[in-house]
Amino acid sequence: MTVEAIHTLGLTQLTAAVARGEVSAVEVTRAMLDRISARDGEIHAYLRVDREGALQQAAQVDRSRAAGEKLGPLAGVPIGVKDNLCTRGVPTTCASKILAGYIPPYDAHVVERLHAGGAVVVVKLNMDEFAMGSSNENSAFGPVHNPWDLTRTPGGSSGGAAAATAAGLAMATLGSDTGGSVRQPGSYCGVTAIKPTYGRVSRYGLIAFASSLDQVGPLARNMRDAARMLGVLAGHDPRDATSVSVPVDDYEAECGRDVRGLRVGIVKGMTEQGCDASVKAAVDASLKKLSSLGCELVEVDLPHSAHALSVYYIIAPAEASSNLARFDGMRYGLRVTGEDLRDTYARTRGAGFGPEVKRRIMLGTYVLSAGYYDAFYLKAQKVRTLIKRDYTQAFTRCDVLVPPTAPTPAFKLGEKIGDPLTMYMQDIFTLPPSLAGIAAANVPCGLSPEGLPIGLQLCAPEFEEKRIVRLGHAFETAIGWNHRPAGFEPTTKAHQHG
């Protein structure tokens, strides 16, 4: 194994090599840091890299191995984390000017889990400001570029996480998903991304956008790697009141299991909702492949999912309005002093927040205001319950649902930024599972005629992530997915399945 080729390995391959002593964690980390220095200027996936801290973490892994200690499941693996996850001693800004200079005194629960698993946390990834966006163009520090085509978006809000994973600038990454923010960029960048069941992974140390929706999830190059990541992250945490005490399955053990007899739900009329022809073709081909693997295809109906976009853009901004009220320049972050307290608040928030965050705060404040709460917020919560019931009913007839992840392949940077509604429509397939709180993931399923990745979404009932892993691994193995963005990875000719 050459050090130069380390970035082409999968996470599980790398941990095995480190454990056998074929390569040291320090060699791996130094190679990854050098690659980031050489290549991230084209992508802008990272906002900050802690080179010294990463090498110290790697050296500790090597010392543990030399001492004969048992290594963790992520030992020596360089992993990047989204900039809304707190990292002790390292700035955490949510890609926003309003948190300029904020250095958390503690690690998020998931960052603690990474360290405990032996991972090397190389630090903070670019994102849409406060996780509000579908293209990563809302970052206060500039957009991320998709490594498959640098003129296109990587998706959002975890665009930095998806792009870094695809381009070999991290073995795996952590993102957050409120309405599709690991799955949609996973689709655009051709990587596996899992949104766990709400409550499966602790939100402690995740800077909140919409507390009833936010969930941390892994992005990786294949389902086995993502499954190992999820196994490290999942579990109860008493510091998060929404964390659920449910046993953690051995997700990685699901890889390689037979999927014959698994009931796969096709959502009635789903690909007719503004789907690009290439997405529809890839999904149709994927269904044929699943059928050939012995899965039983079953048509199901989710009648209230058509209202998910409207429901989400009432509930999520309402929660954002409340959560972001704390950023006022009084305790930490940006402060623009005005003539009095009210003026200081106004100047600080006016200068600190970008246009999309301001848009959602205003919308959320409006729907919570006197006279409108019942008409908008309360009604949206009732429809959310109906969406959840639709999924409960659907899962009596199937084991996994397989709608598309996104209606189109990655679009051009600047193409939709001036039209918020068109931008919001990119999440029409990921919003319903988020509102229902169920498990969902993206798996790459093909390429568009332009050579851009297309994603298939796998949805399972609460705490049944193992079904997603089982089906996702079987599917990616069957289609032979091993694509890498041209210019960033040596790649074989694209596999088109039919």
Rounded (5°) CA angle 215-413-361: 45
Please enumerate in sequence order all residues whose Cβ is within 8 A of that of 306, keeping only pairs 6 or more positions apart, or say none: 273
Any idea which residue has 């690009």 for tokens?
A: 276
3-state DSSP helix/strand/coil percent for the chain, to nearest 5?
A: 45, 15, 45
Cα-to-chain-centroid distance, residue 292: 30
Cα–Cα distance, 373 to 350 (Å, whole number) = 25
Any idea which residue has 């889990």 for tokens?
A: 113
Please enumerate in sequence order all residues whose Cβ is within 8 A of that of 248, keeping only pairs 6 or more positions apart, or say none: 231, 234, 235
Looking from the CA of 58 toward its CB, the CA atoms found within 13 Å total: 25
- Cα-flanking dihedrals φ and ψ of residue 121, to 5°? -85, 110
**Whether the Cβ atoms of residue 287 and residue 402 lie closer than 8 Å to each other:** yes
Cα–Cα distance, 170 to 218 (Å, whole number) = 12
Please enumerate in sequence order all residues whose Cβ is within 8 A of that of 48, keeping only pairs 6 or more positions apart, or say none: 90, 91, 123, 124
String of DSSP letters for 75-133: TT-EEEEETTB-BTTB---TT-GGGTT---SS--HHHHHHHHTT-EEEEEE--SGGG--
Task: Establish whether the linkage from the previous residue to 157 is cis, with ω within 30° of 0.
Answer: yes
Alpha-carbon torsion, ordered 389, 393, 394, 398, to 10 deg? 140
Query: Which residues are designated catalytic?
Result: 82, 157, 181
Query: Which token pair is 426?
Result: 């990119």
CA-based torsion, 247, 252, 258, 260: positive or negative: positive
Any idea which residue has 């449910």 for tokens?
A: 246
The enclosing H or E element of 22 equals none
- Give the end-to-end CA distance of the chain in Å, rounded to a whole number: 35
CA-based torsion, 434, 440, 446, 451: positive or negative: positive
Cα–Cα distance, 336 to 342 (Å, whole number) = 11
**Whether the Cβ atoms of residue 442 and residue 193 lie closer than 8 Å to each other:** yes
E-assigned strand segments in 346-474? 400-401, 439-447, 453-460
